[in-house]
Structure 1
C-alpha cells in the first residue's frame, strides 16, 4: 500500500511539474503540441457534450478569428454566434485579470469572469427573458470580443437589455456604481487555483509563473466583496466550479463570512448522468478527472 501511495505521489508531482512547463510555454508563445502536453493539460477533457458547435467559415475572415454557431438543443430554437480568438497568451494579457428555466425571467443578471465568449451570460440573455444581462471580465480583449458577439446576436436577445463591461477585482471604481443592482450574479470556473510553492526549488521561469499564482491568492476576499457589493440584499449568486483539491472548499470558508452557502454536487439530472457515465467509462479514464472537470454548484445568499 505504501509503495502504491509513493508511486501516486511521484506521478502527481511529475504531472504538476509538466503543467508548470506547459504554462511557461504559453507565456513564451510556444505551441504545446507534444502528446505529453496534451495528457497533462487540464483542458484534455473538452466538453460534457450538451452544446452543439458548428463552424461558420463564411464569417471567418482571418486566421486569428473563428466564428461558430452554438446550439442548445436539437431543434436549434436557441442558438448563438460566438467569436473565438485564435491568439497566443502573453504575460501582459494575464496581468489584466485573475480570468435556466424561468428563474431569470424579469430579473437583472450579471455574469462575472465571462472570459473570451461570456457564453453563460449570453445564453441567459438568449433564453430566459431576463430584464437585463451584464456580462463582464477583467481582460480588456475578452470584453472587446464580447462586444462583437453581443452586436452579432442582438436580434436574439428579445427585450433583454444586454451590455458588456470590464470589471477588475482590485479597482473598486470599475463597479462602484453597481451597488445592490443585480438579482442574480453568476460565475463559471473562475475560482482561482491555489498552489503551494517551495521557493528554494524554483528555477527562474517557475519564479516568474509563481507571481501569477501569488497574485490570484490575494483576490478571493476581493471577489467576495465584489459579489456582496453588486448583489441585491435579497439576491442570489450561483458559482459553478470544480473542487480542484481544496480550492473550492477554501473559497467557501472565506465566503461564509458574508454569505450563507449551499453546496450542491447533483443539481441537474442530465449533467449528473453524464458525469457518472464519464466516471465509469474506461475509455475516458485518462481524460476525465472529476476533481478538475466536474463543476459543483455553490449558491450564495446575503446573511
Structure 2
C-alpha cells in the first residue's frame, strides 16, 4: 500500500483514496428539498392519504410481495423508549424463490426536519423502485454472493437488498450500512428479527458516512462485492461514494449499483468512477423488469417517468 498523506481540507489521509476533496456540507438546494419532503410527509400522516409527493407518483414494479407480518410486535414494551415511531412489520416474499421470506420493519408517520436532513436520509422515508429492483436482481443472482463478503451502502431504513442477500445467498458476511443513525437503529431491529434465517452468514449493521475516513479505515479492502441503490442524485455525495467504494473493495472487487438516469446524475457518477474502475452500464439487464418497463411506458405514462423511475444497472470493477 502506498504511504499515507495528510490533507487537512478533506480529512482524507490515504493516497489510495481517489479524491482528496470530499465535501461535507449539505447544499441549500438539498435542504430545501427536504423541507418540501418534510411538509409532504407531515400532511400525509395527518390526513391519512397514501398519495406520494410528485416525483414518486410511481411506487413499485411489483417484483416483491408484501403483507403485514403475522406477529407484529412493533408496539411491544421492548420497542418503547428509544423507538416509539409509528412502525409496522411486513413480510416480504418473491416469486423467484418460493421458500424465501424476510420480515422488514418500516417506519411510518411524520419525520422531523432534523431527521430528514441527516446524512442522505432518503431511505428513511420510503422504499424506492431502485431498491426493489436491486433486491430482485440479487435474489435472482444469489449465487454471485455465495461465500463472498458483501457490503450494502446507503441502504436506508431497511437495507432491503442486503437483508435479502443475507437470507438467501450463503454469503460469508453481509454488512449493512447507512449514513443516518435512525436508519441503522431500524436495520438493527430487522437483523435481530431475521437472524434465524442467516445460517452461517455473519450479518451486522453500522453507520457509515462515505467521507468519514476513520470509518472507512475499518472496512478498507475487505469486501468482494458492494451493492447500492439510488444513491447518485446529490451532487456533493457522488465523489465521496466513488471514494468509499474504491476504499472498501478488494482488488478486482465488484460494485453493483442500480439508479435511474435522473437528468445527468448517473452519467456524472460514471465520469467520476471511470479513472478508478472498469465501468459497465446495462439498460436491459433482466427480462421481467424490461417487459414491465416497456409496458409502463405505454400504459402508465402519466405516472411513470423512466428518467426518474427506471433503474440503470452499473457494474464497477476495481482496477
TM over 0.5: yes
- Runs of at least 5 residues in structure 1 that lack an aligned partner in the other structure: 1-19, 193-215
Distance 1:69 1:98 in 2: 26
Q: Find out whether 1:293 has 2:309 as its counterpart.
A: yes
| Inter-CA distance 30–94: structure 2 relative to 1 (3 Å threshold) | closer
Question: What does 1:178-193 align with in structure 2 at a 5 Å threshold?
Answer: 178-192=219-233
Q: Find out whether 1:256 has 2:268 as its counterpart.
A: no
Tell me the equivalent position of 1:235. 253
Q: Find out whether 1:177 has 2:195 as its counterpart.
A: no
| Inter-CA distance 153–40: structure 2 relative to 1 (3 Å threshold) | closer
Q: CA deviation at 1:219?
A: 1.9
Q: Find out whether 1:26 has 2:38 as its counterpart.
A: yes
Distance 1:269 1:68 in 2: 27
Q: CA deviation at 1:58?
A: 4.0
Distance 2:165 2:74 in 1: 28
For residues 83-107 of structure 1, the C-alpha deviation after alignment (integer angstroms, 9 at most, x for no partner) is 0111423232233312323111100
> In 2, are the aligned partners of 1:117 and 1:146 still within 8 Å (CA)?
yes
Q: Find out whether 1:64 has 2:86 as its counterpart.
A: yes
Distance 1:278 1:230 in 2: 37
Q: CA deviation at 1:43?
A: 1.8
Q: Find out whether 1:151 has 2:192 as its counterpart.
A: yes
- Aligned residue pairs total 258
For residues 33-89 of structure 1, the C-alpha deviation after alignment (integer angstroms, 9 at most, x for no partner) is 89xx94752221111111000112641444701110000127741010000111423
Distance 1:94 1:229 in 2: 27
> In 2, are the aligned partners of 1:25 and 1:31 still within 8 Å (CA)?
no
Distance 1:25 1:102 in 2: 38
Q: Find out whether 1:267 has 2:285 as its counterpart.
A: yes
> In 2, are the aligned partners of 1:57 and 1:66 still within 8 Å (CA)?
no
Tell me the equivalent position of 1:278. 296
Q: RCO greater where, 1 or 2, for CA within 8 Å and sep 6 or more?
A: 2
Distance 2:203 2:115 in 1: 25
Q: CA deviation at 1:285?
A: 1.6
Distance 1:302 1:165 in 2: 23
Distance 2:34 2:178 in 1: 24
Tell me the equivalent position of 1:94. 116
Question: What does 1:24-173 align with in structure 2 at a 5 Å threshold?
Answer: 24=36, 26=38, 30-32=42-44, 38=51, 41-56=54-69, 58-62=71-75, 64-73=86-95, 76-99=98-121, 100-173=141-214
Tell me the equivalent position of 2:138. none
Q: CA deviation at 1:32?
A: 4.2
Distance 2:52 2:205 in 1: 35
Distance 2:111 2:275 in 1: 35
User: If the length of structure 2 is used for normalisation, what is the TM-score?
Assistant: 0.75
| Inter-CA distance 39–52: structure 2 relative to 1 (3 Å threshold) | closer
| Inter-CA distance 259–64: structure 2 relative to 1 (3 Å threshold) | same
Distance 1:72 1:145 in 2: 22
Distance 1:28 1:70 in 2: 27
